[in-house]
Amino acid sequence: MKVSTRVEYGLIALTDIVLHSADGQSVSAPEISQRQNISRKYLEQILMLLRQGGFITAQKGLRGGYTLSKPPGEIRLSEVLNALDSNILADMDEGDEEGELRSVINECFWGRINDSLKRYTNDLRLSDFADSCRNRFSGSWDMYTI
C-alpha cells in the first residue's frame, strides 16, 4: 500500500506530540521538524490540517506549540486518516456493468482489504498507536526536558 507523505508525516507529527507533551506541555513545530527530519514548512501545512480536524490546538507565545485537543484514547486513527486524506478509506469505485471483471475484483479483493483497513483504523485509538510506538522504539529515542 502506498500512502501520501501528508498522511505519513501527519501520523508522525501527531504521535510525536503525544510522546513529547507530558503534563500538557506544548510541542513546537521546529522541535517536531528537527526530531523527525520533516521540512518545517510542509509540517506546518500538515499541522494546520490536524488542527482543522480537531485533533490538536495551537498555543501562541514563548512556550507555544501544539497539544492534543482531546485525550489520545478518544482519537480514532480512521478520523486522522480521513482528515489528512479523504481518499484512503473511501469506498472503491464499482465497474459500470454488472459482472465486469474490474467490479468483481474490486468487490472480492480490494473491497475486502479496504473494509479491513476501515475496521482496523476505526478500532485503533491514538493512545494505543502511540503506546505501541513508544514500546517499540523507546530504547533509541532521546526523551529529555531542558
Per-residue confidence (pLDDT) for residue 146, from 0 to 100: 43
Q: Of 9-13, 63-67, 109-113, 130-134, where does the model show the most confidence?
A: 9-13
Comparison of pLDDT for 13 and 86, the residue scoring more:
13
The proportion of the chain whose per-residue pLDDT surpasses 90, expressed as a percent, equals 53
Asked if the model's pLDDT at residue 30 lies above 80, the reply is yes
Considering only the C-alpha atoms of the chain, give the largest distance between any 2 of them, rounded to a whole number of Å: 64
Q: pLDDT, tens digit, for every residue of 38-81? A: 999 999 999 999 999 999 999 888 778 999 999 999 999 999 99
pTM for this one?
0.81
Residue type, 143: M
Per-residue confidence (pLDDT) for residue 101, from 0 to 100: 87
Q: What angle do CA 99, 119, 49 make, to 5 degrees?
A: 105
Classify residue 66 as exposed, middle or buried by CB count within 10 Å of its CB (0-12, 13-18, 19+): buried
DSSP 28: -
DSSP 85: -
C-alpha distances (whole Å) from 95 to each of 41, 104, 111, 143 are 40, 8, 13, 51
Q: What is the CATH number of domain 5-87+126-140?
A: 1.10.10.10
**Distance separating alpha carbons of residues 71 and 1, to the nearest angstrom:** 29
Per-residue confidence (pLDDT) for residue 29, from 0 to 100: 95
Asked if the model's pLDDT at residue 117 lies above 80, the reply is yes
What residues have CB less than 8 Å from 21, skipping those under 6 apart? 27, 66, 67, 68
pLDDT tier at 16 (50, 70, 90 boundaries)?
Answer: very high
